[in-house]
Structure formats: C-alpha cells, structure tokens
Structure 1
C-alpha cells in the first residue's frame, strides 16, 4: 500500500474541512487514484498525525475532513543542525532528503570557497524553497510529524557571526587534530555538524571553524564524498547518542 500521508500548511482540527495543496492533490488523484471516501493522513509540522477522509474531489482540488489526531513520538532525542556546504547536481537534494530521514532538526546551507554551485539571491531563494519541499517529502515518507527548517544559504563567516558557540556542541569532519566521535561526551544541547562541499572546506574555513570551537572528528581511514560524510556522521551520532 502506498504511503497515504500528505503535508499541509493549514491549521488542522477535529471536524475541519481541509483543502490539500496542489501538489498533494495531484499526487492523491493522479498517481494514487484516490476517491471520495478514501482515508489519508495529514500533518502540518505540529507533531501530530491527523486521520482524514476525502470528501470532495474536483479537477484541481481535493478536500478532506479531519476525523482524529494522534501525537507522533518518533523525533530523535538529538537536536542536530546540519551546516552543509552547497554541493552540485543531485547531491544536495540527496543529502537533505536523507538527513531529514535520519532525524536532523535544521539544515543550514552555506556557500563555501570550494562549492561548485554559486547562487545569486534570486536562485538562492528558489533553491531554498526547493530544498524545503525535499524536506517535506522526506517527512511524508519517513513518518515524521515535525518538519525541519531549511534556512536561506549564507557564507560560513556570516553564519558563525550570527551563531555564537554557547550552548552547542560543534563538530567538523577534518583529519587534522581529530578525535573519534566516541571521545566526545554525549551532548545535552544543540549539535552543529559542519560538512564541506565536493572539494571539502578550505584551510581558511577550517581554521575559522576551529576558532569558533568546532571540534574535528574522523570517521575511519577512508575519504568520504560530501553526501556520504554528512549522512555517515549523522548516523554515527544517532548510534552513539540517539535512538539507533
């Protein structure tokens, strides 16, 4: 059975009539071929699943009524923010999708010196919207009822200037001066994980991050691609400290 679970930005309450988003309506009717009377689950990021029944289907709209609400308890105990240098092609989409499945709370794209992709302000806005939709789709698939926030891209220097290191555990993948993840005490606050793009972070960026209390770690003796590095690090954290 297909996953009949859809995100809506609407406020959800018992007995409310809710119109599905255009993309959700198209998927429900054209791909899944749902009909009036079929049951679906809606969520809006408030940590609840809402069981609904489709009540009306028109050419460009689908309406459902909310029957019940169930709180979802599958959020990771770790508060991970992925600070990811923008990678090219499908790598960034893949990284965001899988990071959401693995339980990250926020994603901060950054432009780095070795990023192949350089975004203008207009393109950055469009890409942020696209990445947020990737995160929403990953929540639909993985059963999460909280939607991670994909923030607007910025430079590492700008992000660091606006995010002091107080109340956060900062981790960087870098073999120089590195320790193993298991040597870091279990964090009780936010974890900020910094990952470079295809060519890694420049030495200047590594030095900047280190000066802002990022601890270098190493994940084995092999060199990992940017998308592999991010997901391996998150999975390792979930195994060491989280709910794996």
Structure 2
C-alpha cells in the first residue's frame, strides 16, 4: 500500500509532535480512511520530507515526526509559465499538470481575450485555489518543493516581472521551431495565450520585452494543451525527462 503524502507548513524535526488542522484531519481520516498509528509521509515545501505516524484522537490529531531527510526531485531547468486565464476549470487543470511536470513558477495572466476577468476578492479566492491545487499536485507527484504561484496580473505586469535566460511566446503562425542549444539555459519563461490567442498587439508587446515567437508544430493547440506540450518538450530538451527502455 502506498504511504500517503501531505504538505505541512511547519518545521520538520525528528521526534516532534505536530498538530493537524481540521482540514488535514478530515482529509486523512475521512477521505483516506487512515487509522491511528498508520504511516504518513510529510514534506515542508522546501525539500525536506519525513516519515511520520498518525496520532488520531476523536476530535483532533497530530503527527509524530520520524527521520527527516532532504530529498529533491526538482528539475535542473527552472521553468516560468505565464499562462493566460482560461474559462471554467481549464486553469485549474493547467496548474495541476504544470506542477506535476516540474514547473518552477506559474503566473496567471489576464489578457485582452481572456474570458475570465477576476478582480479584488474573487481574484484572491481564485489565487488561493490555485495554491491549494499546486499543493495537491506536489503531494501526488512526489515533489518536495512548492512552486511559486503568482496572483493574477495583467500582461504588462507579467512581462515586467519576468527575468529568464530564454523567453518564448507561443504563436502558431509567426513562431519558429525551437532549435537545440549547445548549453542548457539556467531558466526559461514561456507565455501562452487564452482560447482566442494573444492579440497582435500583445504579441508585439511580448516581443518588445524580449520574448521570441515559438511554434510547437503545424497544429493549433488548445490553451490547456499547449502548456503541457511545451513543458514536456522543455523537460525533454534540458530538464530531467529521459526515455528508458526495459531489457
């Protein structure tokens, strides 16, 4: 049986007893159906993980921390995804899969053709949801480092906040196929538009900010498909993806 993994926003120290929040208690007790004394693996979001034992009471619970180790499964390539807001649950799906694929940072971007326009409290709630989805994806995928999830920002702000060795904007009509680089870049940023694509003006603004147009092939990909493909290509080219064939 696979040992469940959970994120704890707490300092991990061998022998420590850490209380669980009501939300974490509900997840372990009612969703995973764990019992008193069962094993749980915890991580702190900063590359430390530990084995722990569940101490389950009637209304409260805690974890007794065992051996703490540093264990990294992070990619050698830092990837910053600038993703235009999509409608419905598309952005949730992108956040989840991008985290599984090893993205370092995600910036949700409001663009001219973004169907979703969130501001104020609604934007804050959506950002909190994105952060929760990222935590869940780390728990599932075995990552011990939480990627950075930025608040929803305008395109201009997103471009101004981006600093990377290579910067690309996906454009199926104007882009050029990526050519292999001799050396692995330290970090890469990639900008992906919404359902209707980035406007011509937005493409020009991105290019003026140092982004190069890039195409991933002759077919037009959906806004929720493009980041998955792009991240996979980047990890295959410069990250930690590899093919291993069984004998």
| Interval containing the TM-score (normalised by the shorter chain) | over 0.9
Aligned residues: 241
Quote the residue 1:82 is aligned against.
81
Quickly say closer, same or farther: Cα 1:187–1:10, change in 2 above 3 A.
same
CA distance in 1: counterparts of 2:173 and 2:207, whole angstroms: 11
State which drifts further: 16-25 or 61-70: 16-25
TM-score scaled by length of structure 1: 0.94
- Counting only pairs closer than 5 Å after superposition, residues 23-38 of structure 1 correspond to structure 2 as 23-38=23-38
CA distance in 2: counterparts of 1:152 and 1:127, whole angstroms: 9
CA distance in 2: counterparts of 1:184 and 1:172, whole angstroms: 17
Task: Give how far 1:181 is off.
Answer: 2.2
- Counting only pairs closer than 5 Å after superposition, residues 76-225 of structure 1 correspond to structure 2 as 76-163=75-162, 165=163, 167-184=164-181, 186-225=183-222
Residue pair 1:8, 1:21 contacting (<8 A) in 2 also: no
Quickly say closer, same or farther: Cα 1:241–1:200, change in 2 above 3 A.
same
Q: Which runs of 5+ in 1 are unaligned?
A: none
TM-score scaled by length of structure 2: 0.92
User: RMSD between aligned alpha carbons?
Assistant: 1.5
Q: Deviations over 1:149-190 (max 9, x none)?
A: 111111011222344x4x531011113442222345544222
CA distance in 1: counterparts of 2:158 and 2:182, whole angstroms: 25
SS across alignment from 1:181: coil
Residue pair 2:174, 2:215 contacting (<8 A) in 1 also: no
Residue pair 1:48, 1:145 contacting (<8 A) in 2 also: yes
CA distance in 2: counterparts of 1:80 and 1:125, whole angstroms: 24
CA distance in 2: counterparts of 1:66 and 1:3, whole angstroms: 14
SS across alignment from 1:10: coil
